[in-house]
Amino acid sequence: MATIRSDSLIDVPAQNTGDDPRERAALVVGANDFSTVTEKVSRIAETRPQFWWWIALLISLSLVGLLKGCLLYLVTTGVGVWGNNQPVGWAFDIINFVFWVGIGHAGTLISAILFLFRQNWRTSINRFAEAMTIFAVTCAGLFPAVHIGRPWLAYWLFPIPNQMDMWPQFRSPLLWDVFAVSTYATVSALFWYVGMIPDLATLRDRAKNRIAQMAYGAASLGWTGSMRQWHRYEKAYLLLAALATPLVLSVHSVVSFDFAVSQLPGWHTTIFPPYFVAGAIFGGFAMVITLALPARHLFGLEDFITARHMENMAKVMLGTGMIVAYAYAVEFFVAWYSGHHFEQYAFLNRPFGPYAWAFWTMIFCNIVGPQILWFKWCRLNPWTLLFAAMCVNVGMWFERFVIIVTSLHRDFLPSSWAMYWPTWVDMGMLLGSFGLFFTLFLLFCKFLPMVAMAEVKTVMPQAHANGHADYRATLGDEATGREDE
């Protein structure tokens, strides 16, 4: 729409992964000004999707169909269609729940914690990381809702006055979960939406057809970008970030209480809350990388989601991975140091028992595989980075499998030991939840601004008064190629 004036473009070299602390790396590379940012991001929502998008949507939607079928079968028949048994009363349902809730954490970490820490590089990736959070929490919410056996009575979990004169049991960590996860979902959605209002206004102002104008117009609430609006908006965003930060730490801590508050060997551990939070961020960043790598390439967003962004995320993943490795070690140490022989057995049973394959998959995927990220070329190469991220995605699912199944299948009484194996319904629902996640994500990519345009503009050199000239001066005439101006 806007004409692009060549003199407003600032051409930044694509290499922004330097480690020189005296230099502040460019966050947006390539030849860009404000209108090219708008153009490159809005174009995705304005043009017809590419062929691969339809294929991906088709595959995801078929998996949603599988999920629907499995749910229908489950609800009409009963949870007996799952492989859950005595003593393994919790299995895929809770594994998938904890897995998906964990995925969500990276989104809030990027959008809230990195915002408070003034990590400006978050601006290009926060929008779709937050979207990922919301879709992951949607998938997570599904499992506890159906695992209760009679999902039409799920409202019993909420403190609604009823004719039975009964209240939910607030001493139960499972009820804390209800409050923690639903608050988390609500606040994340609000945070995401508030962040999107100015960008929705951009789409509204560019929309050509009537339906798009109406839809984006309603969604952007009449935003005019007035400085008085921005003033309160920025304050609201900061406050939301400050509120979401303790929230993200609390959610997975509360999820870990489901386990830690019990007396079961392998679960009854004080390290669980921080260990779960670190693991969630670890797994969440792996999923952000998994989504960002293809998305930046396929949607042509390499100027905003730069090599430096991918590298930074890889570093966060490596760091949280080391915390997870430490937590594994501490669990074993405490089991030994406690002198509690049931606890010691539970931890010997993990690497050497019948589920040793799951344990060693977890160790390889979470601890061994990601170590390649110590090397810079592995962080910069999309394939090695994707390998590390996929390792973590798999490993973090197995971590929850190991925690839940190995602790339950052999507890205090050998007479009640049993093995657990998933049924096809278990597998179908796991696959189906991925289908739901990717369907929502693909629709988000198509219809909403994937990159926070307003925020990206603030980290460009043009946004700073007089910064324009200063920036060119630091780059030198050679780098900008504008000595003739």
- Which residues from 126-165 bind another protein, rule CB under 8 A? 159, 165
**C-alpha dist (Å) from residue 168 to 51, 82, 144, 154:** 50, 26, 16, 11
Least distance in Å: CB of 287 to another protein? 24
Based on the shown chain and the rule CB under 8 A, indicate whether residue 231 belongs to the binding site for another protein: yes
Which residues does residue 11 pair with via DSSP β-bridges, in sequence order? 31
Which of 47, 76, 86, 226 contacts another protein by CB under 8 A?
226
The answer to the question of residue 280 lying near another protein (CB under 8 A) is no
CA 105 to chain centre: 5
Q: Which of 257, 197, 258, 260 is nearest to 233 (CA)?
A: 197
Angle (CA) 96-134-224 rounded to 5° is 175
Query: 3-state DSSP call for residue 83?
Result: coil
Write out the binding residues for another protein, residues 198-217 only, by CB under 8 A. Answer: 198, 201-202, 204-206, 217
Min dist. Cβ of residue 118 to another protein (A): 14
Stretch that binds another protein, among 44-52, 92-100, 146-154, 451-459 (CB under 8 A): 451-459
Per-residue tokens: 307? 């090599």
Classify residue 213 as exposed, middle or buried by CB count within 10 Å of its CB (0-12, 13-18, 19+). middle
Question: If binding is defined by CB under 8 A, does position 192 make contact with another protein?
Answer: no
227: β partners: none
In the three-class reduction of DSSP (H, G, I as helix; E, B as strand; rest coil), residue 249 is classed as helix
Residue 345: closest CA among 264, 289, 420:
264
Residue 30 backbone dihedrals phi, psi, to 5 degrees: 80, 180
- Lookup: tokens for 114: 């990195």
Closest approach, Cβ 180 to another protein, in A, equals 5
CB of 123 to another protein, least distance (A): 10
State both tokens at 308: 């430096």
Confirm or reject binding of residue 169 to another protein (CB under 8 A): yes
User: Least distance from C-beta 454 to another protein, angstroms?
Assistant: 5
Does the protein bind another protein through residue 474 (CB under 8 A)? no
Which among 87, 133, 77, 444 has a CA at the least distance from the CA of 295? Answer: 444
- The residue among 207 and 402 lying less far from another protein, judged by its C-beta, is 207
Decide if residue 372 touches another protein (CB under 8 A): no
251 to 270, contacts with another protein by CB under 8 A? 254, 257
Q: Does 44 bind another protein (CB under 8 A)?
A: no
- The least CB distance from residue 243 to another protein, in Å, is 5
Which residues, 55 to 94, sit near another protein by CB under 8 A? none
Phi and psi (nearest 5°) for 411? -110, -135
Among positions 221, 329, 418, 479, the unique one binding another protein when judged by CB under 8 A: 221
Q: Is 464 in the site for another protein (CB under 8 A)?
A: yes
Q: Is 379 in the site for another protein (CB under 8 A)?
A: no
Sole window of 61-69, 227-235, 334-342, 405-413 interacting with another protein (rule: CB under 8 A): 227-235
For another protein, give the closer residue by CB, 316 or 454: 454
Go through 118-149 and write b for each residue having 16 or more CB atoms within 10 A of its CB, e for each that does not: eeebbbbbbbbbbbbbbbbbbbbbbbbebbee
Span from 21-29, 89-97, 169-177, 297-305 in contact with another protein (CB under 8 A): 169-177
Q: How far apart are CA 73 and CA 69, in angstroms?
A: 6
Query: Judged by CB under 8 A, which of 90, 99, 233, 304 binds another protein?
Result: 233
- Which of the stretches 13-21, 89-97, 197-205, 436-444 binds another protein when contact is defined by CB under 8 A? 197-205
CA separation for the pair 1, 71 (Å, rounded): 47
1 contributes a contact to another protein by CB under 8 A: yes
Q: What is the nearest approach in angstroms of another protein to the Cβ of residue 467?
A: 8
Q: Which of 86, 227, 377, 476 binds another protein (CB under 8 A)?
A: 227
Taking CB atoms within 8 Å and a gap of at least 24, the contacts of 269-272 are: 269/331, 269/334, 271/327, 271/330, 271/331, 271/334
3-state SS assignment for residue 306: coil
CB-nearer residue toward another protein: 193 or 326: 193
> How deeply is 242 buried, as exposed, middle or buried, from its count of CB atoms within 10 A (0-12, 13-18, 19+)?
middle
Q: From CA 407, how far away is CA 347, in angstroms rounded?
A: 9
CB-wise, 77 or 162, nearer to another protein? 162
C-beta closer to another protein: residue 68 or 464: 464
Residue of 55, 160, 239, 329 that binds another protein (CB under 8 A): 239
Binding residue for another protein, selected from 23, 234, 470, 477, defined by CB under 8 A: 234
Query: Contacting another protein (CB under 8 A), which of 183, 371, 381, 423?
Result: 183
Q: Does 175 bind another protein (CB under 8 A)?
A: yes
